[in-house]
Structure 1
Amino acid sequence: MTTQRYHHGNLREALAEAAVQAVREHGPDGLAVRDLARRVGVSHNAAYRHFADRDALVDVVAEHALAGLVVAMQRRLAGVTETEPVARARRRLIEIGVGYVDYAVAEPGLFRLLFTAYPEAPEPDGKAGDPYGLLNAALDDLVDVGYLSPAVRPGAEIGCWSAVHGFSVLCTEGPLRSMPDDERQAALTAMLSSIDLAYGVS
């Protein structure tokens, strides 16, 4: 196991970075204060002064994972080029789903910790945003442009989130984890298109 150097006064940051890397490599089970102390080359007593227990490590890694998920979703939103209001609102909802799955596939350990190993959702960073808030805003936009009926808007976020999260889990822990990238993207596109069409006003 490679140890990481840290500058005096930066031990907490070094331990946090090591915790994120450990989860990337081994999933949530890779978190242990003593192991992280070895990674950064300090005694476990020094590490415990910054993180009293594993739960404290889970908190800091979950916050990192949440911020990363938001960045992935916002990156996809920033790439939307449609200018016609309905087309733009529809594309934004699709890209939010793509960003969510992109993050899950790229960071399966962090994704798993955030949604299965953390007992309560971490508080969203006010600057980074909130994935659930991004989804709700996109659905509200669909109502505003006349594509989504106000009558079916309540609870629509649960249906969207369930579909995209379920697809992400299938791709990271389930039978779709060995699916080639192009096939996964095609399946995701088909699923998101079906959600889009289902919400269209007839």
Structure 2
Amino acid sequence: MTKTGYHHGDLRAALIEAGLALTRSGGPEALTIREVTRRAGVSPNAAYRHFADREALLGAVALAIQEMMAARMLEPARQRGSAQAQARKRLRAVGLGYIEFALDEPGWFSVAFFGGSDLSTLTGDGMAPPLRALVEALDSMVEAGALQPDQRAGAEWPCWSAVHGFAELALRGPLHGTPRQDLQALAHSTVDCVVAGLAQ
């Protein structure tokens, strides 16, 4: 891997980019101020002009990963059928996108919610990008009449628990080592059960 080398550009962005490169394969443990700055071609002290400490840098990297996760979750599904069917497809795509990101990028997934750190100061609205994608999909279910308003309150938490739990089981639990095709079938079944339960 060559140095990022920001060349008098945006050093903060260069440091985050280096952090992404390190954590993609190595997870959160791979990120150190020394290695990030080496890749960016600056001294370790330069990092502290942008980040108070390693945790602050890791938080910025985690937010960048969460934004990539949310983008995967928001990839448009084919919009056919009634408004209710489209809303269910959107929620299904959000759930499957979350799991697929975790399976494709286990190192980044480990960083995305590292230690339960509060990223609200980074996101501004206090909502992690993947959670925002889920909340908006659930709200669209209500708007389309696919989910009753009285069932909407707090629905994001069982939904998120299902997909996050599945990802953890697949990466570090009893499903670890299961062929990808089988994992995908199980992921579809998990998400379909959640969507069907909400839509009853």
TM over 0.5, shorter chain: yes
Structure-2 change in CA distance of 1:69 and 1:117 (3 Å): same
Letter matched to residue 92 of structure 2 = I
Letter matched to residue 150 of structure 2 = A
Shift of 1:2: 4.6
Shift of 1:158: 1.0
Deviating runs (4+, > 6 A) in structure 1? none
Shift of 1:161: 0.8
Whole-angstrom distance in 2 between the partners of 1:180 and 1:13: 36
Q: Give per-residue Cα distances to partners, 1:167-191, cap 9 Å, x unaligned.
A: 1122222232322121111001111
Whole-angstrom distance in 1 between the partners of 2:140 and 2:10: 43
Partner of 1:67: 67
Contact 1:58/1:118 (8 A) holds in 2: no
Shift of 1:141: 2.6
Shift of 1:117: 3.1
SS at match of 1:42: coil
Whole-angstrom distance in 2 between the partners of 1:183 and 1:132: 26
Structure-2 change in CA distance of 1:125 and 1:25 (3 Å): farther
Structure-2 change in CA distance of 1:110 and 1:12 (3 Å): same
Contact 1:98/1:188 (8 A) holds in 2: yes
Partner of 1:117: 115
1:34-45 equivalence runs, <5 A: 34-45=34-45
Letter matched to residue 111 of structure 2 = L
Partner of 2:133: 134
Whole-angstrom distance in 1 between the partners of 2:136 and 2:46: 44
Give me the TM-score of the superposition, normalised by structure 1. Answer: 0.85
Shift of 1:63: 1.9
Give me the TM-score of the superposition, normalised by structure 2. Answer: 0.85
Whole-angstrom distance in 2 between the partners of 1:149 and 1:51: 44
Whole-angstrom distance in 2 between the partners of 1:149 and 1:19: 43
**Higher deviation after alignment, 37-46 or 153-162:** 37-46
Q: Work out the percentage of aligned pairs sharing the same amino acid.
A: 40
Shift of 1:33: 0.7
Whole-angstrom distance in 1 between the partners of 2:136 and 2:38: 44
Letter matched to residue 81 of structure 1 = Q
1:163 paired to 2:162: yes
Q: Give 1:80's match in structure 2, choosing from 65, 78, 86.
A: 78
In the alignment, structure 2 segments of 5+ residues that lack a partner are none
Partner of 1:106: 104
**Higher deviation after alignment, 166-175 or 140-149:** 140-149
Shift of 1:148: 2.2
